[in-house]
Structure 1
Amino acid sequence: MGPDPTSTETPQASTSESLAAGDVLNERYRIVEELGSGGYGQVLAAEDLQEGRRVAIKILRADAGSRDPAAMARMRQEAEILEAIDHPNIVEIYDVDEADAGEFMVMELLEGHSIDALLETEGAADPERVRPLVKQLLDALSAAHRKQVLHRDLKPENIILVPAPDEPGGERAKLLDFGIAKASEILDDDPDEGITLVKTRGGGFVGTPRYCAPEIAVGDPAGPSADMFSLGLVMAEWLTGKPRIEAEKQNRVLSILIQPTPLDVSDCPQAWQPWLSRMIAKDPDQRYPSAQEALDAFEALVEGGGADVDLAKTERQKPISNDQAFGGQVFGDDDVSETAATQVREPLELADIDDEPTQDYEEAPAFEDHGSNNVAMSTVRFVMIAAISCGVVLLLLWLARLFLGAN
């Protein structure tokens, strides 16, 4: 039963499993409706009674920490990353707090449509519509990379199109869900303030398989070109209505990713094909090494009909190695250290985050070059595992025949 609309009292959120319309968090955020829910929490539309605006709230249920201590750390990591990047094409973070109902993050409410939803309702997009949005997304990724942050989970669901506030009839792309992003250094240098991030087993798989760069899928170090790969896959799918990788099972996706056969872009608009081919090259060294160079090439190839960027003359941005991510720890979804589990309880003070940009990505010392053989080495590993598996099967068949013959 919902709240009494004639009552003068404001119902406060409790420790119940789910929040409902009319509940209020911390005497400030009145819940309007549920936008989605999952095993650990909810995403809600709410009214900020203090600021007089509609907001989105991502809340972890009160028992989420006991079930998965990494969940809180990931949310705090996402909040800190969003606050540090602060870009008009990335969802804005307003607040992080906790209540009896659980720990929550308050963000900009995006009232628009995801590329995923548009693909379902409209199919392939007009290249003229896609063109300015690609440039916005590349600019957003460039800002993230300057902060030493890789998104690692770009997919159609994570790109929302909203009305452009300064352009009647225009659209603005918004990038969201930095929940599994990886950075090369802690954004808040004080170990006693802000978040303590979670440590995971090296090589753990994160992200959405069909849009994941090969080097991430096999657990190799990844750099900015990994985000270029994922964005290229999304744009190729949006332009044609067809995904580049149609397999759903992870082992099949991995098989396609590590095969040397290039992903096909022949059904994409002709002017886009050279740029998309470079974006979704399986070898990281064949992709654009940064979002800025991908943007420069986009303007030259797709918009201007000019020449592509000469990768031989560009300085490669080195990948984030597993032992250098966030000051020597590896972060993701699998596991959480005991230290992190005991230190993520204090609320994140967003005012403490350094808003000044870090040094330019090209000059950053926190990246390690692992050469151009990541995908090739992954292919060798895959072939070796397959060969060993076949050998074991043949041996078992031979033993079975011996056993049956003896009987």
Structure 2
Amino acid sequence: MDLLGQGGMGEVWRARDELLGRTVALKLLLPGNSDPTAADRFRREAQTAARLNHPHVVAVYDAGVHDGLGFLVMELVDGHSLSQELAAHTALDPGQVASLAAQTANGLAAAHRMGVVHRDIKPGNLLLSADGTLKIGDFGIASILDDPSAALTATGQVLGTSVYLAPERALGRPAEPASDVYALGCVLYQLATGHPPFHADSTLGVVYQHVDALPTPPIQLRPELPGVLSDYLLRMLAKDPAARPTAQQAADWFAAQHRTADRVLPSTQPASAAPISKTTRMAALPPPRRRRTRRGVALAGVAGAVALGTAAVIGLSMNSGDEPASRGNGSTPGPSAPDPTPTHPGTPTTVTSAVTATATPQTPKETKVPAQKPAKKAPAKKAPAKKAPAKKAPADKP
């Protein structure tokens, strides 16, 4: 057997099913696990995944306990995760984003119809097989909506990965199907732009942004994206769960866009325009827009109950955190694969906007000029009086 990956819960091995003659992924629960809920969650993963039979969900073949070790026998996905895809390409073509979105949303819709919420949708849990088929793996922290005993969230902890955490979950509310849609929206936003929707210096900072900040429209980060795709991603990231599309609606919409990709998802960037580099996009990335609403007050009000100030927002899935990349021939097991996303859940990258300061010319103060007094007119000179002609004296007559 070859070790494919390991995480906080256990290890995943490539194994051979001698009975059926096929290669499988064998997931083993590590002995002495310090998490008191690990065994329950491991058992629940088997029960949850066994309820799902869908081409876009990793299949579970068998489960049990051997020599005190719990095990799952699962479908081995011969390919890689979307986190590895992102590491290789940063951002994907809009048509490819639409295809992956339609497949993932279809798998989620099937799970939601069975009353199952995944609760940890992220690139490392979305596996791409060699033939291009996407499969959702690792239902290890999924909850079954019709099973009240499935609430395995410990006091002060929110299960999931902060970069893809829905706002209602950050506020301590139960996960629901709309939470998966929001997480998928975050993943697709990252696939389309090369960046997750929110960035901060800490996990808690990212959580607050999910609750109280508006994401930058994707088209501003990557102008060649079609406007319809940018708008739909923002709809999936709506703060209000009721304002988001359902997983099935998203699947139908993205499938339609993929079928007509050349017509509906054209590039809005002129053919002669040079592509925008990752460095340029990062330099121009504006900070998330803030919502001036009461959500920030609500978050502070429930902080004591959820313990957001002190508890880590953690992902307790099989391969969350630092773990080795897939080994052997590159096959990826059903559980989550390593997640080398640009922004680690615990230490997201802070991106500052490049703002150019422009000097504002000042208007000079108006100077009052004193009015000049009119000049005095010189008195008119009197014309000299004309002298009367002298009268000649009459001549004496002789």
Same fold (TM over 0.5): yes
Q: Which amino acid aligns with 1:173?
A: L
* TM-score where L is the length of structure 1: 0.61
Deviation at residue 139 of structure 1 after TM alignment:
0.9
> 1:51 maps to what in 2?
20
Q: Which runs of 5+ in 1 are unaligned?
A: 1-31, 165-170, 188-195, 307-374, 387-407
Computing the radius of gyration from Cα coordinates, the structure with the larger value is 2
Aligned to 1:177, which of 107, 127, 138? 138
Instruction: Report the Cα distance in structure 2 between the residues aligned to 1:93 and 1:301, rounded to whole angstroms.
Output: 31
Deviation at residue 202 of structure 1 after TM alignment:
5.9
Deviation at residue 249 of structure 1 after TM alignment:
2.1
Q: Which amino acid aligns with 1:229?
A: Y
* TM-score where L is the length of structure 2: 0.62
Q: Does the CA-based 8 Å contact 1:275-1:298 persist in structure 2?
A: no
Instruction: Report the Cα distance in structure 2 between the residues aligned to 1:38 and 1:301, rounded to whole angstroms.
Output: 37
Instruction: Report the Cα distance in structure 2 between the residues aligned to 1:38 and 1:222, rounded to whole angstroms.
Output: 23
The reply on whether 1:287 has 2:244 as its aligned counterpart is: yes
Instruction: Report the Cα distance in structure 2 between the residues aligned to 1:384 and 1:94, rounded to whole angstroms.
Output: 45
Deviation at residue 384 of structure 1 after TM alignment:
5.6
Deviation at residue 295 of structure 1 after TM alignment:
2.6
- Report runs of 4+ in structure 1 exceeding 6 Å deviation: none
Deviations 1:179-208 (A, max 9, x none): 111121249xxxxxxxx7564446631100
> 1:274 maps to what in 2?
231
Instruction: Report the Cα distance in structure 2 between the residues aligned to 1:221 and 1:101, rounded to whole angstroms.
Output: 32
Secondary structure of the corresponding residue to residue 43 of structure 1: strand
Instruction: Report the Cα distance in structure 1 between the residues aligned to 2:241 and 2:257, rounded to whole angstroms.
Output: 20
Secondary structure of the corresponding residue to residue 174 of structure 1: strand
Deviations 1:34-64 (A, max 9, x none): 1122344211111112211111111012333
> 1:159 maps to what in 2?
126
Deviations 1:199-218 (A, max 9, x none): 44466311000001011122
Instruction: Report the Cα distance in structure 1 between the residues aligned to 2:137 and 2:147, rounded to whole angstroms.
Output: 20
Instruction: Report the Cα distance in structure 1 between the residues aligned to 2:8 and 2:156, rounded to whole angstroms.
Output: 25
Deviation at residue 287 of structure 1 after TM alignment:
1.2
Q: Does the CA-based 8 Å contact 1:93-1:106 persist in structure 2?
A: yes
Q: 1:38 to 1:138 in 2, by over 3 A?
A: closer
Q: Does the CA-based 8 Å contact 1:125-1:238 persist in structure 2?
A: yes
Deviation at residue 285 of structure 1 after TM alignment:
2.4
Instruction: Report the Cα distance in structure 2 between the residues aligned to 1:40 and 1:300, rounded to whole angstroms.
Output: 39
Instruction: Report the Cα distance in structure 2 between the residues aligned to 1:185 and 1:279, rounded to whole angstroms.
Output: 25
Deviation at residue 381 of structure 1 after TM alignment:
2.8
For the aligned residues, what is the CA RMSD?
2.6
The reply on whether 1:84 has 2:54 as its aligned counterpart is: no
Q: Which amino acid aligns with 1:157?
A: G
Aligned to 2:103, which of 122, 136, 158? 136
Instruction: Report the Cα distance in structure 2 between the residues aligned to 1:40 and 1:261, rounded to whole angstroms.
Output: 35
State how 1:8-157 maps to structure 2 within 5 Å.
Answer: 32-64=1-33, 67-100=34-67, 102-157=69-124
Instruction: Report the Cα distance in structure 1 between the residues aligned to 2:109 and 2:233, rounded to whole angstroms.
Output: 18
Q: Does the CA-based 8 Å contact 2:212-2:295 persist in structure 1?
A: no
Greater helix fraction, Structure 1 or Structure 2: 1
Deviation at residue 234 of structure 1 after TM alignment:
0.6
> 1:239 maps to what in 2?
192
Query: What's the % identity of the aligned pairs?
Result: 37
Q: Does the CA-based 8 Å contact 2:165-2:207 persist in structure 1?
A: no
Q: Which amino acid aligns with 1:139?
A: N
Q: Does the CA-based 8 Å contact 2:14-2:26 persist in structure 1?
A: yes
Deviation at residue 73 of structure 1 after TM alignment:
1.0
State how 1:210-359 maps to structure 2 within 5 Å.
Answer: 210-247=163-200, 249-266=202-219, 267-268=221-222, 269-270=225-226, 271-288=228-245, 290-299=246-255
Q: 1:384 to 1:99 in 2, by over 3 A?
A: closer
Q: 1:218 to 1:93 in 2, by over 3 A?
A: same
Secondary structure of the corresponding residue to residue 35 of structure 1: strand
Q: Does the CA-based 8 Å contact 1:233-1:280 persist in structure 2?
A: yes
Deviations 1:60-85 (A, max 9, x none): 12333xx3331111111111111111
Q: Does the CA-based 8 Å contact 1:210-1:248 persist in structure 2?
A: no
Q: Does the CA-based 8 Å contact 1:202-1:219 persist in structure 2?
A: no
Q: 1:148 to 1:248 in 2, by over 3 A?
A: farther
How many residue pairs get aligned? The number is 270
Instruction: Report the Cα distance in structure 2 between the residues aligned to 1:301 and 1:40, rounded to whole angstroms.
Output: 39
Q: 1:175 to 1:83 in 2, by over 3 A?
A: same
Deviation at residue 299 of structure 1 after TM alignment:
4.8
Q: Does the CA-based 8 Å contact 1:141-1:291 persist in structure 2?
A: yes
Instruction: Report the Cα distance in structure 2 between the residues aligned to 1:298 and 1:40, rounded to whole angstroms.
Output: 34
